[in-house]
């Protein structure tokens, strides 16, 4: 009887060992699967993160380069425009100083005075100019006045400011109480031209 019981015990023990090993083996296999899946997932996340970071960084670098490129182009255009207007400014200085013989500055000055007188629309006007032009207007005041009256069709009282204006050329005309002013200087003309023709000049230079 005891031998039979021992045999049963041993069989139970054997089967228990086998079952235990089987369970352990299966568990180990499942653990390996889980570990492998976890490693794959970790690698996938790492790869995706790196790709995202690389893409983001690439976009930042390209965006920065494009911005720098646009800034460089804008600065180059501004420099070219500035040099263009500097040349025009030099030309105006030569004209005002009677160095450019292609232009009769005295005739230009008269037209500027006439235009300002019409703009002010007063019978008494005060004319301001730079030192050289004030000297010329003062020396030729009578003839300038007669010519203005003839072309305007009415009598005109013309007074000259004592203090010269620091301008390239042209004139500034006021009414007597200085409630009206007409800026007809070469400087002012150039500034207005610069603003109005900026787009056109840009097209000529860069297209």
Residue-wise pLDDT for 26-59, tens only, equals 655 665 665 566 566 666 766 666 667 667 766 7
CATH of 104-206, one of 3.30.2320.30, 3.40.50.300, 3.30.70.1900, 3.90.470.20: 3.30.2320.30
pLDDT digits (tens, 9 = 90+) for 167-195: 989 999 999 988 999 999 988 888 877 77
pLDDT digits (tens, 9 = 90+) for 97-130: 888 888 898 999 999 999 999 999 899 999 999 9
Cα 119 to Cα 151, 175, 180: the distances in Å are 14, 11, 9
pLDDT digits (tens, 9 = 90+) for 76-90: 667 766 777 788 788
* 3-state secondary structure labels for all residues of 28-49: HHHHHHHHHHHHHHHHHHHHHH
The kind and range of the H/E element at 185 are strand 181-185
Q: Where are the domains of the chain?
A: 1-103, 104-206
Q: The tokens of 38 are what?
A: 């976890």
Smallest CA-to-CA distance from 113 within 94, 89, 136, 92 is with: 136
- Cα 55 to chain centroid, rounded: 29
The whole-angstrom separation of Cα 136 and Cα 100 is 17
């Amino acid at each position: 009887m005891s031998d039979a019981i021992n045999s049963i015990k041993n069989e139970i023990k054997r089967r228990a060992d086998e079952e235990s090993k089987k369970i352990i083996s299966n568990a180990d296999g499942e653990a390996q699967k889980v570990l492998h899946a976890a490693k794959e997932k970790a690698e996938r996340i790492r790869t995706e993160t790196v790709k995202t970071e690389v893409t983001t960084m690439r976009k930042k670098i390209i965006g920065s380069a494009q911005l720098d490129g646009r800034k460089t182009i804008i600065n180059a255009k501004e420099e070219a425009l500035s040099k263009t207007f500097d040349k025009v400014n030099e030309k105006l200085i030569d004209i005002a100083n009677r160095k450019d013989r292609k232009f009769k500055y005295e005739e230009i000055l008269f037209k500027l005075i006439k235009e300002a007188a019409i703009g002010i629309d007063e019978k008494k006007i005060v004319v301001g100019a730079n030192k050289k032009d004030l000297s010329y207007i003062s020396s030729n005041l009578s003839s300038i006045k007669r010519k203005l009256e003839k072309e305007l069709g009415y009598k005109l009282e013309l007074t000259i400011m004592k203090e010269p204006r620091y301008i390239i050329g042209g004139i500034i005309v006021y009414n007597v109480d200085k409630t009206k002013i007409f800026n007809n200087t070469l400087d002012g003309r150039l500034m207005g031209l610069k603003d109005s023709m900026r787009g056109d000049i840009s097209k000529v230079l860069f297209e």
